Chains A and B, each alone.
Chain A
Amino acid sequence: MDDKQEPKGIVLTEAQKKRRRERSVAIALALGVLVVLFFAVTLVKGPAVLVRPM
C-alpha cells in the first residue's frame, strides 16, 4: 500500500548532485592549498621546526 511505503527523504536531482560534488571538490582543493601553504612556510621560516627530539 502507498501509505506504508518507506519515506524516501530528500532526493537530489542530477544537477544538484553535480553542483554539490563541484563544491566539495572546491573545498577540498582550498584545504589542500592551505596545508601546502603551511608546510611550505614552515620550511621557509626554519626547517629546524621539523626536527623534534623525542
Chain B
Amino acid sequence: MSVIDHNAIDLPRISEASVADYIALLKPRVMSLVIFTALVGLVIAPGHFHPVLAFTSILCIAVGAGASGALNMWYESDIDALMSRTANRPIPRGRVTRPEALAFGMVLAFFSVMTLGILVNWLAGGLLAFTIFFYVVIYTMLLKRWTAQNIVIGGAAGALPPVVAWAAATGSLAVEPLLLFLIIFFWTPPHFWALALFRNDDYARAGVPMLPVVAGPDATRLQILLYTIVLVAVAVAPWPLGYFDAVYGIASLLLGSWMLVLAVQVYQRREGTAALRATRKLFAFSILYLFALFATLLVEVVARAVAPSIW
C-alpha cells in the first residue's frame, strides 16, 4: 500500500528536499552506533593499520550503513507513514520521493562498497556489500513483514560492522570480531522487543508482525528475559575464554547484571505505568549497555597504547 502516490501527478515535480532531508535518510542515530562498533572492531584488530586507511574504512562502513537506511526508508515508506515514530521521515512527509531515495541509497551503496574494496581490501568490501544486501533484501523486504523473528535474524546486519572493520584492518577474519558480532546479535532482540512493547499500537496499525503484536506482550516479556540471559552469558564469555581481559570481564559482569535486573522487572511488571516504565528503562539501558561494553574494549586498547607498562 502506498500512502503517497507521486506518479499520480503528471507535472514535473520540483524537489524541495534540503540537505538535512537527505541526511535524515541515512538514519544518523543508527549510523553513529555502527561507526562506534566498527571503530571498536578496527581498534582491537592486531597489527598496525595506517590512520588514513582506518578513516577510509570507517567512512565507507558509515556510508554503507547510511545507504542501507535510505534503501530501508525507500521500501518502507508506506508503513512509515502509519507509525508515529516514523511518520516524520522525509518520504512520508513528502520531502523526498521514493525514486529519489532509491537512487540516493543505491549510489551510496555502490560507492561505499567499491571505495572500501579498491582502497582497503575486497574481503571488507564484500562483507560490506553483504551487510547492505542482508539489511535491505533479507530483513527489510523479506523478513520484516513476514515473521515475528524478523529482528532476530535481521539483527545479523546490525552486528556485522565490527566484522567488516576487522576485515578491513587485517584482511582476514578471526574469533574476536565474531564475538563482537554475537554480542550485538543477541543484544538486538531484547532491545527492539522492549521498543516494540511500548510501540505496540504503532506496529499493529502498520501490520508489522513484531513479537508483541503476534504473540502478545507476556510471551514477548519471556523472550526478552531469555535473550537477555543468553546475551549476558555471550558478553561475559570472551573473558574466561581468554579473548578479552579482566577489565572487560568485570565491566560485562556489572553491566550484564543490571541488564538482567531490568529484564526481570520487565517480565514481572505487566500492568499499567509500572510495566511501561520498566520497558522504557530496559530499552534506554540496553543502548547504554552496548555502548559501555564496547567503550571498555576501546579504553583498554587506548590505555595499553598510551601506558603499556602499567597495564
The answer to whether B111 and A41 have CB atoms under 8 Å apart is no
The answer to whether B119 and A37 have CB atoms under 8 Å apart is yes
A16 contacts chain B at the CB level, 8 A cutoff: yes
B56 contacts chain A at the CB level, 8 A cutoff: yes
- Cβ proximity bits A36-49 to B, threshold 8 Å, 1 near / 0 not: 01101100110000
Tell me the A residues contacting B by CB distance below 8 Å. Answer: 10, 12, 15-16, 19-20, 22-23, 26, 34, 37-38, 40-41, 44-45
- Chain A residue nearest to B51 in the complex (CB): A44
**Nearest Cβ on chain B to A29's Cβ, whole angstroms:** 10
Please provide the chain B residues from 6 to 28 with a CB less than 8 Å away from any CB of chain A in the complex.
Answer: 12, 14-19, 22
Tell me the B residues contacting A by CB distance below 8 Å. Answer: 12, 14-19, 22, 50, 52-53, 56, 59, 111, 115, 119
Known A40-B52, A41-B53; 6 more pairs at CB < 8 Å? A15-B16, A16-B16, A19-B17, A37-B59, A38-B115, A44-B53
Q: What B residues does A37 contact at CB under 8 A?
A: 56, 59, 115, 119
Q: What B residues does A38 contact at CB under 8 A?
A: 115, 119
The answer to whether B18 and A41 have CB atoms under 8 Å apart is no
User: Which residue of B15, B53, B115, B119 contacts A19 across the interface (Cβ within 8 Å)?
Assistant: B15
- Chain A residue nearest to B20 in the complex (CB): A22
Give CA–CA (A20, B111) in the complex, Å: 22
Give CA–CA (A50, B30) in the complex, Å: 39
Q: What B residues does A16 contact at CB under 8 A?
A: 14-16
Q: What A residues does B12 contact at CB under 8 A?
A: 10
Known: A34-B111, A37-B119, A41-B119. A20 touches B52 (CB 8 A): no
Tell me the number of A-to-B contacts counted with CB atoms below 8 Å.
Answer: 39
- Specify the main secondary structure of chain A where it touches its partner: helix
Q: What B residues does A41 contact at CB under 8 A?
A: 52-53, 56, 119
Q: What A residues does B19 contact at CB under 8 A?
A: 22-23, 26
**Nearest Cβ on chain A to B223's Cβ, whole angstroms:** 42
Give CA–CA (A41, B49) in the complex, Å: 12
The answer to whether B22 and A23 have CB atoms under 8 Å apart is yes
Give CA–CA (A23, B18) in the complex, Å: 7
Give CA–CA (A38, B116) in the complex, Å: 11
7 contacts between A and B (CB under 8 A): A16-B16, A19-B16, A19-B17, A19-B18, A23-B22, A38-B115, A38-B119
Q: What A residues does B111 contact at CB under 8 A?
A: 34
Known: A26-B22, A40-B52, A44-B50. A34 touches B17 (CB 8 A): no
The answer to whether B14 and A10 have CB atoms under 8 Å apart is yes
- Chain A residue nearest to B108 in the complex (CB): A30
**Nearest Cβ on chain A to B228's Cβ, whole angstroms:** 41
- Chain B residue nearest to A37 in the complex (CB): B56
The answer to whether B53 and A20 have CB atoms under 8 Å apart is no
- Chain A residue nearest to B60 in the complex (CB): A37
Q: What A residues does B22 contact at CB under 8 A?
A: 23, 26
The answer to whether B18 and A34 have CB atoms under 8 Å apart is no
The answer to whether A22 and B18 have CB atoms under 8 Å apart is yes
Give CA–CA (A15, B52) in the complex, Å: 39
User: Which residue of A19, A23, A44 contacts B52 across the interface (Cβ within 8 Å)?
Assistant: A44
